[in-house]
A and B are shown apart, each in its own frame.
Chain A
């Protein structure tokens, strides 16, 4: 009977952010579809009410079906039968429940059967589903691959595939190969154009493919023979109905066991080219990855929520030395810090989702009509923010997620180490978040330009200038001082004028920016609702300590010090 949406006030708060007014108006093109579809909103309030009501259904299904199924799915896992994936029983039940509730294709246009929701409520659904079962969200959440089809595929392809996604077909993105993981330029899967049938044919192997046996797959393949880098790669759609791909095995994993991670063999598998040749990696994978990274940030937040709740419930109920363990400073500090990190991750997630909404919606509008100069500038502004905030959010939230899962087990003591409590599963599930869709180290590579170009600093200054109630002024002043320290650290590293030195300190610098940004966001949230006040204060205290630690490390660091860290290759 639990409802994972209505029991969480922080979600409704994020949904009702002031920027939503503009996002919804743009997304709904001033509510012009109300005459065309019986489920299109009449106005802003009507649209917001739709999001709220639909998220309530998501919360109900998560509380009543998905969360209770998580344990058996984790024990049972998927199987390979006759070269295809058979999901665990609970996984199939979850999929059926979400399909019947019409929750596939949430962000896709209505003409294909989608709900035309902005990214914010879609990401919120992903946040909620992740709390219920982190492994399952991978299968359901891969519907965001459809965004890439919606952005770059032909009208016929959109009609064919998006309609199916909205009816419940699941998706996969087939990028990784045995020798091409983080370095996708090395992809070898061969795409050859068959003149006779006029079709592309795929041959080769893909590995570590989440939901690899899904109905519709986006496949990165080498369409230009003889090439060796990313410029020879194109993006294809493989339709499972056509056949040609078999599942050789599924991986035995530490966590997210319900999500089948497949090794796929392509044998003369027919496929359709998406967009332009040679743009596979450069353009389409980048779009896919940004969407997927935002999805993992949502997953991280959802898993953090689950970890926090389990820890809190246990700490209230577990009695030692005659009192509940949450009464001990060592435990309540852990819990409050967990909550602060959770709230910080979530506010950064929705800030990023709003940026993505703004720029993607303008991008779609620009295909319908020419944008005014003001609109074009706004699109560029939000695109830049989305590009820098996505890796920042994914990187930091997934690390926080791991820290929360670790602390949640710690609070459970010995019981947390046993399979009797959900935290044991949550701990294993959390581990992947900082690895896939780009490790934290690679998120830093994507984010460091936000540091060196001053993009984060510019946005920090925007937050700095926001109106705050007088009792929050003191916190703002502290953040201004921290921002100065960040600026000094950046200047010092950049002044050395050595790329390796920047790379060496990149994570520290990105984290400093992240801590300051999240502190500001929590402060602004507290300004709208006092429920965030505690987290804002606790997080700021943590941010000060962390930023200063990094700042001190950088202050005393010299290019010549790198030698003490380096290894010689034999």
Chain B
């Protein structure tokens, strides 16, 4: 049975699901200090699909690739605790301020360095930006096919993955040749919990920078146990055109940010008559409240 090299694209995000009153700064940007940093939820759905492939195809490896500040190594460890084999942290000041285009450029260049991957799995979108663009852009830049809104990897056969997509009005079953990129929906199964033995095995895993900044008691471990070294790549480790990185590579500019406080101002009473309910449904669909 064939084994696959699976890469999971993951992002550490502020937990926007638990927003308190000091979540935003006065200038309208996110107060990252007030929000816990978490593994982007749909990237966990993506990781679960990767781990299922690993279970079904022994020898398969799962690597977490993330771009972010140094502390984003936390989500690589999180991934290892759940069953990922290793991780790569792409971190450099040169990446700061990247929009989706610059991000997908940097990630795709890193993937070119990884080489010989079979399946790249990402969450549909991150809960901070909600763009759902990075996965598809990575596929474009690598020139490989992509399948979005995936809910389940059904099988892998003869160099093709068979996938179930969850769409607005139903499901669709598609197949796609490998190598490929897929993005996974939150309707896919939740990621398994962290595993006790894997936590104990990988909890000391660190990037070089983390190791330099810590009072690590067990330095010898990093020679004896190579899997404890999380790869850390800076801009110098990948082949890039600097103009396409960070702020300069990001055509998206934030013009203004405003605080919107949602308030119910007027109420509308409808009766239980069929036509009134129909009208309400039509109105809600038209103004995109539902559907």
With A42-B217, A42-B218 as known contacts, state yes or no: A54 contacts B193, CB within 8 Å. Answer: no
Q: Which residue of A lies closest to B51 (CB)?
A: A100
Interface string of B109-145 (1 = CB under 8 A from A): 0000000000000000000000000000000000000
* Shortest beta-carbon distance from B244 to chain A in Å: 38
The answer to the question of B196 belonging to the interface, with a C-beta cut-off of 8 Å to chain A, is yes
Taken together as a complex, chains A and B put the C-alpha atoms of A39 and B194 apart, in Å, by: 14
Q: Which of B192-208 contact A (CB under 8 A)?
A: 192-201, 203
Q: Chain B residues with Cβ under 8 A from A43's Cβ? A: 217
The answer to the question of B242 belonging to the interface, with a C-beta cut-off of 8 Å to chain A, is no
Q: Which of A37-66 contact B (CB under 8 A)?
A: 38-43, 46, 49-50, 53-54, 57, 60-61
Interface string of B201-236 (1 = CB under 8 A from A): 101000000000000011001000100000000000
Which of A46, A50, A97 is close to B193, meaning CB atoms less than 8 Å apart?
A97
Q: Which of B44-80 contact A (CB under 8 A)?
A: none
Tell me the interface secondary structure of chain B in the complex. loop
Interface string of A103-126 (1 = CB under 8 A from B): 100100000000100000000000
With A38-B225, A42-B218, A53-B203 as known contacts, state yes or no: A115 contacts B194, CB within 8 Å. Answer: no
Residue pairs across A and B with CB atoms within 8 Å: the count is: 52
Taken together as a complex, chains A and B put the C-alpha atoms of A60 and B196 apart, in Å, by: 12
Interface string of A74-105 (1 = CB under 8 A from B): 00000000000000000000000100111100
The size bracket of the interface on A is: 20 to 34
A50:B200 contact, CB within 8 angstroms:
yes
B194:A101 contact, CB within 8 angstroms:
yes
Q: Chain A residues with Cβ under 8 A from B196's Cβ? A: 54, 57, 101-103, 106, 115
Q: Chain A residues with Cβ under 8 A from B200's Cβ? A: 38-41, 50, 53-54, 115
Which of B18, B193, B218 is close to A57, meaning CB atoms less than 8 Å apart?
B193
Q: Which residue of B lies closest to A101 (CB)?
A: B193
Taken together as a complex, chains A and B put the C-alpha atoms of A420 and B262 apart, in Å, by: 32
Taken together as a complex, chains A and B put the C-alpha atoms of A61 and B225 apart, in Å, by: 30
Q: Chain B residues with Cβ under 8 A from A49's Cβ? A: 203
B201:A57 contact, CB within 8 angstroms:
no
With A42-B217, A42-B218 as known contacts, state yes or no: A100 contacts B193, CB within 8 Å. Answer: yes
Taken together as a complex, chains A and B put the C-alpha atoms of A38 and B195 apart, in Å, by: 14
Q: Chain A residues with Cβ under 8 A from B217's Cβ? A: 42-43
Q: Chain A residues with Cβ under 8 A from B203's Cβ? A: 49-50, 53
Q: Chain A residues with Cβ under 8 A from B197's Cβ? A: 39, 102, 115
Taken together as a complex, chains A and B put the C-alpha atoms of A23 and B218 apart, in Å, by: 23
* Shortest beta-carbon distance from B221 to chain A in Å: 8
* Shortest beta-carbon distance from A27 to chain B in Å: 15
Q: Chain B residues with Cβ under 8 A from A102's Cβ? A: 195-198
Taken together as a complex, chains A and B put the C-alpha atoms of A115 and B196 apart, in Å, by: 8
Taken together as a complex, chains A and B put the C-alpha atoms of A41 and B221 apart, in Å, by: 12
Knowing that A38-B201, A54-B200, A57-B199 touch, tell me 17 more A-B residue pairs with CB under 8 angstroms.
A38-B200, A38-B225, A39-B200, A41-B200, A42-B218, A49-B203, A54-B196, A57-B196, A97-B192, A100-B192, A100-B193, A101-B192, A101-B193, A102-B196, A102-B197, A106-B196, A115-B196
